[in-house]
Amino acid sequence: MMSYKRVLLYGGRGCLGSVCVKHFKNKGYNSDADENIVIEVSENSSTQERVVKNGLDTFLSGQKVDGIFCVADFLENCDAMWKKCVWSSSIAAALASKYLLASGLLVLTGAHAALQATPSSYAYLRPSIVCRVSTFVLSFIRSLFWCVVAMLGYGMAKAAVHQLTKSLAGQNSGLPNGSCVLAISPATLDTPMNRKWMPNANHSSWTPTEKVAELFATWLEEANSRPKSGSIIQLITQNGITECVPV
C-alpha cells in the first residue's frame, strides 16, 4: 500500500505545476486537505520564504511532507527569471530543511539550456532569411537580440539551480539525512504556451508535462528508482518517447 500521502508543490499554478497537482490528486495525495499559499512576486526572497513558512506551520501543525517539487514557470526577462527560478528553488530548499521527511524527495527544475552555452542551444533563433526592407530587418534583429538576452538570463538562472542541487546533496547541507535531491533538465516542455509560440516545431521531441508528473510520482513512491542524490536528469524525448539521462 502506498505510504506517501503529502506533497508540496511550489509553483502549482503554472503549466507544469497544474498538471502535477492534478496527477497527485488523482493518485490520492493530500487527501485530507489542500492549502494554497499565495505570495507577492514584488516581495523580496526573505519575505516570500517567511510567508510560505508561516502558512505551512499553520497548515502542517508539525507534520512532515514526503516530497517537495519546485516547478515554477519560465518568465520573459532576466530579473523575473532569476527570481522565479533561483528564488523559488532556494525557498524550496529551505522548506525541505524544515518540513521534509528523512526519506523524502526534493525536486528542482533546471533546464537543458543550462548545460551548455545558451545561444548555441537555441540556434533556431538565428536569422535564416535575407530581407531587403531595412525597417523589417532592424525590427527582426532587435527582436532576435532580446530573445538571446532573455535566453542568456534563463541559462544563468537554471545553471544556478543545477549548482544548488549538487550542493544540497553534499554533507551538512541542511537537508534531512537520507533524503534525496534531484533536478530535472528538460529541453522543451509540451505546454500550450510553447505550442503557441512555436507552432511549426517538432512537437514529438517535446516532453509532455504528464510524463514529468508521472516521473515525479514514481520517484516519490519507489525510492529505489531514484537517481543518485544531486543528479541532474535530462529529459530527452524522441518520437514521443521520453528517457531520463543523468548528466
Neighbouring C-alpha atoms within 13 Å toward the C-beta of 196? 3
Q: Which of 5-9, 69-73, 107-111 has the highest mean pLDDT?
A: 107-111
User: Catalytic one among 4, 10, 29, 154?
Assistant: 154
Give residue 56's pLDDT. Answer: 94
Assigned domain for 32 exists: yes
Give residue 20's pLDDT. Answer: 94
**Residue 93, phi then psi, degrees to nearest 5:** -65, -40
Tens-place pLDDT, residues 52-69: 999 999 999 999 999 999
Assigned domain for 121 exists: no
Q: Give CA separation, 231 vs 13, 59, 181, 182, 207, in Å.
A: 26, 31, 8, 5, 19
Assigned domain for 140 exists: no
Assigned domain for 67 exists: yes
Give residue 119's pLDDT. Answer: 59
Alpha helices in the chain (DSSP H): 15-26, 45-60, 78-82, 88-99, 118-121, 134-168, 192-197, 209-221
> How much is the average pLDDT of 5-11?
90
168-174 LR contacts (CB < 8 Å, sep 24+): 168/93, 168/96, 168/106, 168/230, 169/228, 169/229, 169/230, 170/230, 174/93, 174/97
pTM (two decimals):
0.83
Assigned domain for 175 exists: yes
Give me the amino acid identity at 121: S
Give residue 227's pLDDT. Answer: 97
Question: How many structural domains are present in the chain?
Answer: 1
Percent of the chain with pLDDT over 70: 81
Mean pLDDT, rounded, of the chain:
83
Assigned domain for 50 exists: yes
Higher pLDDT: 87 or 128? It is: 87
Q: Which residues span the domain enclosing 42? A: 7-116+158-246
Tens-place pLDDT, residues 134-190: 444 444 434 444 455 557 778 888 999 999 999 999 999 999 999 999 999 998 899
Higher pLDDT: 77 or 27? It is: 27
Give me the amino acid identity at 7: V
Give residue 137's pLDDT. Answer: 45
Residue 207, domain CATH: 3.40.50.720
Assigned domain for 1 exists: no
Assigned domain for 207 exists: yes
Minimum mean pLDDT among 21-35, 108-122, 208-222: which range? Answer: 108-122
Handedness of CA 78, 83, 89, 93 (dihedral sign): positive
Give residue 136's pLDDT. Answer: 45
Tens-place pLDDT, residues 114-132: 888 765 544 444 433 334 4
- Helix 45-60 / helix 88-99 crossing angle, nearest 10 deg: 30
Is 10 considered catalytic here? Answer: no
Tens-place pLDDT, residues 188-201: 899 888 888 888 88
